[in-house]
Amino acid sequence: MSVLPTDSLSTPRFVGLPSFMRLPMATELQGLDAAIVGLPSDSGAPFRTGARFAPNALRAMSVMLRPINPYRGHINIFEVLRVADAGDATCVPGYEIESLAALERALDAVVEAGAVPFGIGGDHSVSLAGLRAVAKRHGPLSLVHFDSHTDTWDSYFDGKRYSAGTMFRRAIEEGIVDPARSIQVGMRGSLFQPADVSQSVDLGLEVITCDEMFALGLPETARRIAARSAGHPAFLSFDLDFVDPAYAPGVETPECGGPTARETLSLLRSLEGLDLVGCDVVELNPSYDGPGQITALLGATVMAELLAILAEARVRERSR
């Protein structure tokens, strides 16, 4: 199996089924450093639905990306890492709990093969499947969470405990996220209850709201994230509604007044020293994304930045 993506200077990007960044489709997982895995479940979505179509929408725009990341020393991601697109996990539409279990099984296989899973959601509840799979190997994880919402409510409609608004409380309860090593960044907007943000602090998480992030400045925010996570295996979860809806209209729960794409990418590009053992980019909903599909492109760009974080870490490890 080749490990290099199709060269877009030789073959036009519109040629062929669009795998993530035109990577080869995985025929087996052994030997991979990282695997792209679609997590096309939206049964956890409380309002807009349709994130089940997100993995392929993100892939379709990812063909515009190129292998070299100039923000981390012109690293060529795919010369450092063996990455493949492992296709999609399956799910059970309309059955949230069974869906999470099905996603977890697929992610288990990735983790067991020694690859870092790069999940493409799906609604945000899919992170619980990712955390469960990764924690089996690495123990309680440092959660690095970008979002406009905390997603630490206790339950949602009809008292249901599994949804896109509750999974990080569940993860802490399950002992797979270590709140003392975890941080949430970007919270903003109107609240259901006064405790919507403080409930995360009560759980032991560090929270940097959107206003606090701008007050601190992006470099200091990056530094705090790194400090919180330092030395622990980290799971980074990126909800696209972290970004302002102008840059990410195609999400399930947009929240006005967020950072720009440039600010967002700048923050990610300045993250140093993360020990990334799993991650996901979630809440893309292509039905709401307009013909330019800019949310999908931004989601793919974020994913490529996360790959660069891993690649840089591997270079660093190898040079020791």
Residues numbered 168-207 forming contacts with a copy of itself, rule: CB under 8 A: 189-194, 196-197
Q: Could you tell me the smallest distance in angstroms from the CB atom of residue 37 to a copy of itself?
A: 11
Nearer to a copy of itself, 56 or 142 (CB): 56
User: Which residue lies nearer to a copy of itself by CB, 194 or 231?
Assistant: 194
Amino acid letter at 302? V
Q: Rank residues 235 and 247 by Cβ distance to a copy of itself and give the closer one.
A: 247
CA nearest neighbour of 225 among 208, 242, 203: 208
Q: Using CB under 8 A, which of 32, 81, 88, 146 touches a copy of itself?
A: 88
Q: Which of 82, 136, 160, 223 binds a copy of itself (CB under 8 A)?
A: 160
Number of CB atoms found within 10 A of residue 127's CB: 33
C-beta of 181 vs 247, nearer to a copy of itself: 247
Q: Does 2 bind a copy of itself (CB under 8 A)?
A: no
How many Cα atoms sit within 13 Å of 191 on the Cβ side?
A: 13
Residues 6+ positions from 46 with CB-CB distance below 8 Å: 156, 157, 163, 164, 165, 253
Instruction: Look at phi and psi of residue 94 and say left if phi exceeds 0, alpha if psi is from -120 to 50, else beta.
Output: left
Subset of 17-76 contacting a copy of itself (CB under 8 A): 17-19, 25, 38, 40, 42-50, 52-53, 56, 59-60, 63-70, 74, 76
Contacts of 211 (CB under 8 A, 6+ apart): 188
Report the site for a copy of itself in 248-267 (rule: CB under 8 A): 249-251, 253-262, 264-266
Tell me which residue has tokens 């959660």: 143
- Segment 278 to 297, residues that bind a copy of itself, using CB under 8 A: 287-294, 297
Letter string b/e over residues 175-192, b meaning 16 or more CB atoms within 10 A of that residue's CB: ebbbbebbbbbbbbbeee
Contact 150, 200 (CB under 8 A): yes
Tokens in use for 240? 């696209």
Kindly state the smallest distance separating residue 142's Cβ from a copy of itself, in Å: 26
How many residues bind to a copy of itself according to rule CB under 8 A?
101
d(CA 50, CA 303): 20
Looking at residues 214 to 243 of the shown chain, list those that interact with a copy of itself (rule: CB under 8 A).
none
Which of the ranges 127-135, 152-160, 168-176, 274-282 carries the binding residues for a copy of itself, by CB under 8 A?
A: 152-160
Do the Cβ atoms of 196 and 205 come closer than 8 Å?
Answer: no
Nearer to a copy of itself, 142 or 163 (CB): 163
Smallest separation, CB 67 to a copy of itself (Å): 7
Nearer to a copy of itself, 65 or 276 (CB): 65
Per rule CB under 8 A, is residue 98 in the interface with a copy of itself?
yes
